[in-house]
Every structure is written in structure tokens, then in C-alpha cells.
């Protein structure tokens, strides 16, 4: 009888041991699964963060390439627009002349600014095109929305110019499409403002009228928008001045266009 009780006790103990073993294995399996999930989540987060950083780096280095492409497209559109403006002017001047084959008056060269001053009264600009690209002294430096300056000296690969924000630079401007023509100069104080002087006292100049390059120049192409009028004032009791808000933002300017008039030397000789 005592032996039988010992057998039953041994079986009962073994059964409990087996049950506890299965429970332990089950708990270990569950714990391992949770650990795998946590590890997978952590690795996924690291991979996502790494991918995001790589994408940001790639986007940063491709941004310049995208900007260059956009600048090239803008340059081509500008050339096409100027060509049609020249044709329109020629057709108006010679109503019955078939002007479809007339060449544009100016040659255009795209360029990128490498240095520019904005903090003095004699500001300069340096661009990455020179004599090997066809640039000559006296070429205009422009943008689709305004005049930037004029080339003063030319090297093989670079050109040095005087910015519109320079006391030595002025632009022949027309107020409105058919309005008065007078020289436009930087006001000497703000990077986005200029003035037009020598306006007859009897003329009314509306606020908000667009100011254009006049075309009466051997340097600057015609009909480039320069800015809008902000009002007029009288100085010294006899001089009427028009304040102009310029379209060109010199603070963010990077790409420009060099405009060369192939007939400039001929015009200069004839005007002497």
C-alpha cells in the first residue's frame, strides 16, 4: 500500500513538472515573439530614418541641377519673347514689309553670377562668361524682369560689370507703352527702388504704370519691364521726379542674361 502511494506521488510530481515545462516553454516562445516584434520595429525605424536622410541629401545635391535646368528654360523663353517683340516693332515701323525673316537685333548669352556687391554706392557684378563666350565690353546685363547692369571689363572666362545699383549706370526708360522717355537711375538707398528725373511738370504720371526699357539705346534691348511707378514729387521747385519700384530682386538674383548689340559700334560711329 505504501509502495503504491509512492508510485502515485511520483506520477503526480512528474505530471506537474511536465505541465510547468510546457508553461515555461510557452512563455518563452511568447516572450521571444514580442522581442522579435520589438527588434523588427526598431530596425524598421532605423531603416526609415536612414532612407529619409539619404533622400534629403540626394534632393539637396540635385537642387542645383534642377535650378540650372529651369534657368536654361527661362533663357530660351526670354530669347523667343524678345524675338517676337523685335518682329512686332519692325512690323509697326514698316507695315507692309514681310518681317518674318528679320534677325533679332541683340544676341543673348546666359550667365550665372559669381560675385555681386550691394552695400555701397558703386556696386559691381561678376558673371561666369567672358570673351571666349562672345561677351564684349558694353554688353547689357539683364534679367527677364529688368535691367541688372552693364559689362565694364571682360576676361577670357569672366566679365566684370557695373550693377544698376551704381551711380555710373542709367537706363533709357519709357513710362507706359507710349509715354515719356527719360533716364532711370538707382535711388542710392534701397535695392529695389529707382527714380526717373527730368519729367515735364505738366505731365500726369499715374501710380502703378509699368516702366519699360525704351529701345532708344545701343546697349539695352527694348521693352524689358523695369518696374512700376509709385508716385511723383517735385524737387527744388522745378524738377519732377518719379519713384519706381523695380521688379528685379537683387538679393535673390543668381542667373542673368548678357545682351550684345552687334550693331553697337556702327551706331556709335554714326552718332559722333
The span from the first CA to the last CA of the chain, in angstroms, equals 142
How far apart, in whole angstroms, are the C-alpha atoms of residue 122 and residue 191? Answer: 12
Write out the H or E segment, with its range, that includes residue 171: strand 171-175
Task: Kindly state whether residue 81 falls inside one of the protein's structural domains.
Answer: no
120 with 246, same domain: the answer is yes
Selection from 191, 200, 209 nearest residue 246 by Cα: 191
Task: Kindly state whether residue 92 falls inside one of the protein's structural domains.
Answer: no
Residue/partner pairs of 125-128 with CB below 8 Å, 24 or more apart: 125/149, 125/160, 125/161, 125/162, 125/163, 125/256, 126/158, 126/159, 126/160, 126/161, 127/158, 127/159, 127/161, 127/256, 127/258, 128/157, 128/158
- Is residue 125 within 8 A of residue 148, CB to CB? The reply is yes
Higher local confidence (pLDDT), 17 or 240 = 240
Task: Kindly state whether residue 99 falls inside one of the protein's structural domains.
Answer: no
- pLDDT computed for residue 55 by the predictor: 56
Q: Which tens digits make up the pLDDT trace of 169-205?
A: 999 999 998 889 999 999 998 889 999 988 888 888 8
Share of the chain above pLDDT 90, in %: 37
180 with 229, same domain: the answer is yes
- What integer best gives the mean pLDDT of the chain? 77
68 with 168, same domain: the answer is no
Selection from 246, 123, 231 nearest residue 184 by Cα: 246
229 with 172, same domain: the answer is yes
115 with 69, same domain: the answer is no
In this prediction, residues 198-215 reach a mean pLDDT of 89
54 with 150, same domain: the answer is no
Task: Kindly state whether residue 174 falls inside one of the protein's structural domains.
Answer: yes
7 with 142, same domain: the answer is no
Q: Which tens digits make up the pLDDT trace of 52-90?
A: 565 566 665 566 666 777 776 777 777 667 666 665 554
pLDDT confidence band for 127 (50 / 70 / 90) = very high
Task: Kindly state whether residue 97 falls inside one of the protein's structural domains.
Answer: no
SS3 63: helix
Q: Domain holding 165: CATH number?
A: 2.40.10.340
DSSP class of residue 89?
Answer: H
- pLDDT computed for residue 195 by the predictor: 96
pLDDT confidence band for 103 (50 / 70 / 90) = very low
How far apart, in whole angstroms, are the C-alpha atoms of residue 49 and residue 53? Answer: 6
Domain boundary among 76, 95, 127: 76
Selection from 167, 151, 144 nearest residue 74 by Cα: 144
For residue 242, give its domain range: 107-270
51 with 129, same domain: the answer is no
CB count within 10 Å of CB 81 equals 13
Higher local confidence (pLDDT), 85 or 233 = 233
Residue 164 pLDDT exceeds 90: yes
- Is residue 111 within 8 A of residue 257, CB to CB? The reply is yes
- pLDDT computed for residue 178 by the predictor: 80
Task: Kindly state whether residue 190 falls inside one of the protein's structural domains.
Answer: yes
Number of domains in the chain: 2
- pLDDT computed for residue 247 by the predictor: 94
30 with 154, same domain: the answer is no
239 with 131, same domain: the answer is yes
Higher local confidence (pLDDT), 129 or 38 = 129
Task: Kindly state whether residue 88 falls inside one of the protein's structural domains.
Answer: no
SS3 181: strand
- pLDDT computed for residue 140 by the predictor: 94
Beta strands in 24-168 (DSSP E): 107-116, 122-127, 140-143, 146-154, 159-166
How far apart, in whole angstroms, are the C-alpha atoms of residue 96 and residue 89? Answer: 13
Task: Kindly state whether residue 35 falls inside one of the protein's structural domains.
Answer: yes
How far apart, in whole angstroms, are the C-alpha atoms of residue 231 and residue 245? Answer: 10
45 with 115, same domain: the answer is no
Beta strands in 3-121 (DSSP E): 107-116
The x, y and z cell numbers of residue 180, run together, are 515719356
- Is residue 14 within 8 A of residue 22, CB to CB? The reply is no
User: Is the pTM higher than 0.75?
Assistant: no
66 with 114, same domain: the answer is no
Amino acid at each position: 500500500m505504501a509502495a503504491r502511494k509512492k508510485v502515485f506521488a511520483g506520477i503526480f510530481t512528474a505530471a506537474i513538472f511536465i505541465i510547468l515545462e510546457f508553461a515555461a516553454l510557452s512563455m518563452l516562445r511568447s516572450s521571444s515573439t514580442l522581442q522579435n516584434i520589438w527588434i523588427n520595429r526598431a530596425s524598421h525605424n532605423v531603416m526609415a530614418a536612414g532612407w529619409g536622410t539619404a533622400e534629403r541629401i540626394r534632393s539637396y545635391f540635385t537642387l542645383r541641377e534642377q535650378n540650372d535646368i529651369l534657368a536654361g528654360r527661362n533663357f530660351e523663353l526670354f530669347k523667343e519673347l524678345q524675338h517676337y517683340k523685335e518682329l512686332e516693332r519692325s512690323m509697326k515701323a514698316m507695315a507692309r514689309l514681310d518681317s518674318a525673316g528679320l534677325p533679332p537685333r541683340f544676341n543673348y548669352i546666359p550667365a550665372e553670377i559669381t560675385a555681386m556687391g550691394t552695400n555701397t554706392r558703386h556696386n559691381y557684378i561678376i558673371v561666369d562668361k567672358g570673351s571666349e563666350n562672345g561677351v564684349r565690353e558694353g554688353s547689357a546685363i539683364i534679367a527677364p524682369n529688368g535691367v541688372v547692369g552693364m559689362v565694364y571689363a571682360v576676361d577670357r572666362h569672366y566679365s566684370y560689370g557695373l550693377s544698376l545699383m551704381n551711380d555710373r549706370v542709367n537706363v533709357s526708360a519709357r513710362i507706359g507703352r507710349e509715354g515719356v522717355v527719360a533716364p532711370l537711375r538707382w535711388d542710392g538707398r534701397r535695392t529695389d527702388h529707382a527714380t526717373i528725373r527730368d519729367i515735364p511738370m505738366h505731365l500726369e504720371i499715374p501710380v502703378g504704370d509699368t516702366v519699360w526699357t525704351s529701345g532708344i539705346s545701343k546697349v539695352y534691348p527694348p521693352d524689358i519691364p523695369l518696374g512700376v511707378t509709385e508716385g511723383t514729387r517735385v524737387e527744388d521747385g522745378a524738377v519732377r521726379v518719379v519713384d519706381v519700384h523695380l521688379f528685379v530682386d537683387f538679393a535673390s538674383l543668381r542667373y542673368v542674361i548678357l545682351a550684345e548689340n552687334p550693331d553697337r559700334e556702327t551706331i556709335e560711329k554714326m552718332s559722333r
